[in-house]
Structure 1
């Protein structure tokens, strides 16, 4: 899982939930600036965990508050879980 793959997935899912084209969702936008209600955010988090195959911590979005930041974290965490010796520790 690369950061680019994770970022694209997040953008597509968020764009779908917001009913806007993917190009209208900037990767550096903070999650709290997006027009998602709490129910949609929970659904998105559940879909993301199913897609990734691992659970994200409850503070993940706090420490990685933008699409780009979260995508980079997901790539690092995926590499760590896959046993990549070059992965950054989370």
Structure 2
């Protein structure tokens, strides 16, 4: 399991989303809502799976619902990562 900061997660997500959309990472705003991004559900699932592989733990099925921006999800994942690291 990887222990990550919110900044690391945010950078990772911005890069992955930019790659999927064929955009420059600087054009992806961390405060933008996921549903405003031009990702289809398949692409979103692929990114989520890659993230889970990178992190070493599964994201909850409601994570995107409760944390609907890159910024909010990054903070949540960093907190979850820290809790899992402390429990290990």
Specify the alignment match of 2:43 in structure 1.
Answer: 40
Distance 1:29 1:64 in 2: 11
- Does 1 or 2 have the higher relative contact order (CA < 8 Å, sep 6+)? 2
TM-score (norm 1): 0.91
How many residue pairs match? The answer is: 84
- Looking at secondary structure, tell me which structure has more helix per residue: 2
| RMSD of aligned Cα (Å) | 0.8
Gaps of 5+ in 2: none
TM-score (norm 2): 0.93
1:8 to 8, 11, 15: 11
Structure 1 runs of 4+ aligned residues shifted over 6 Å read none
